Amino acid sequence: MENQVLQPQPLYAGENEVGTRLDAFLAAKFAVSRSRAHKILESVTVNGKEVKPSYALRLGDKIVGAVVPPEADSTPLISQSPTSPLPPILFEDDDIIVINKPRGLTVHAGAGDTGETLVERLQSHGRVLSNVGPSERAGIVHRLDKDTSGAMIVCKTDAAHWKLAADFEARRIQKTYEAICCGIPPAKGRIEAPIARSLTNRKKMTISPSGRFAVTEYEVVKSWARFAQVKINLLTGRTHQIRAHFTYIHHPIAGDAVYGGYYRALENSPSEAVRAAFENLHGQALHAAKIEFEHPISEQKMSSEAPPPPEIAAIILALDAAG
């Protein structure tokens, strides 16, 4: 059977897309080149009408028929003999897999990335993933940073992919994170600050008036002398949102070398055991602990919780012991 999407879910233009060209919108949405976006446009209507690639989106525009054709030379990235273990599975059926993504595993291939990805690992274990977008991003409807662990949904069918993509866009999916931050922030807080890519470091995000609207809510669940464990709810889903927002309020995520949390954590460690635990982390102390969503096919309410990795658990134990 050829890879295609039957009755794809419509897309809607949000506040951040107002004024964006339709071809640019589709290219960004599916992570494809502008030329491939023009191929997608051959079957697209906006509010029931055919429009030009240069059409400027308006708030609430309904885009229907956006089917991404497979590239002519696209082949599944399937290894014949898996060399790495399958990530812990929290739930799986014919349409989706919910996994506890390990720390240090890149979700999909990108510029400058080397080594095995989550997509390749799932495929090497015989999982057939959805075909919406580029083959290297098969099944991926949302992502976690390489050194962030936790609950993540991967799609096995195109129908599930389209529905979940729409649910993420409409913010109908609840994600709860746990983190250890440097210092002790107020007991509860709401961080509302626009996020843009840094002009001086392209691997880093920053707070900028020209950035995209972003909101993070948090609550301190435990604290020590110089650190706090926080529970975080994302109201938006920007790149590095938690890491950039907590740096903005001067409480970077502990262990985060990109945003200043690594050396601060080492300098403020109350004991050698705590310092050693942070050195063993090799990344930020950030974990996607829970994801709540509606099953894309059965419409059943779903909730999956992912236990934290041993590296983060070891930091908590060391902090408890240090008093």
Say if domain 174-322 classifies as CATH 3.30.2350.10.
Answer: yes
All residues at 6 or more sequence positions from 312 whose CB lies less than 8 Å from its CB, including other chains: 149, 178, 180, 281, 285, 287
pLDDT recorded at residue 75? 42
- Low pLDDT (below 50) residues in the chain: 1-7, 71-80, 111
Angle at alpha carbon of residue 52, lines to 48 and 55, rounded to 5°:
85
Angstrom distance (rounded) from CA 109 to CA 106: 7
Give residue limits of the domains in the chain.
Answer: 11-64, 89-169, 174-322
Residue whose structure tokens are 């900028």: 208
Give the architecture-level CATH label for domain 89-169. 2-Layer Sandwich (3.30)
Residues with catalytic function: 145
pLDDT recorded at residue 84? 81
**How far is CA 57 from each of CA 22, 37, 61, 64, 159, rounded to the nearest angstrom?**
6, 15, 7, 13, 25
Q: Do the first three CATH levels of 89-169 and 174-322 match, i.e. the same topology?
A: yes
pLDDT recorded at residue 296? 94
Single pTM value for the model: 0.74
Q: Which fold has domain 11-64?
A: 3.10.290
pLDDT recorded at residue 277? 96
pLDDT recorded at residue 40? 74
Question: 23 in the Ramachandran plot: left (φ > 0), alpha (ψ -120 to 50) or beta?
Answer: alpha
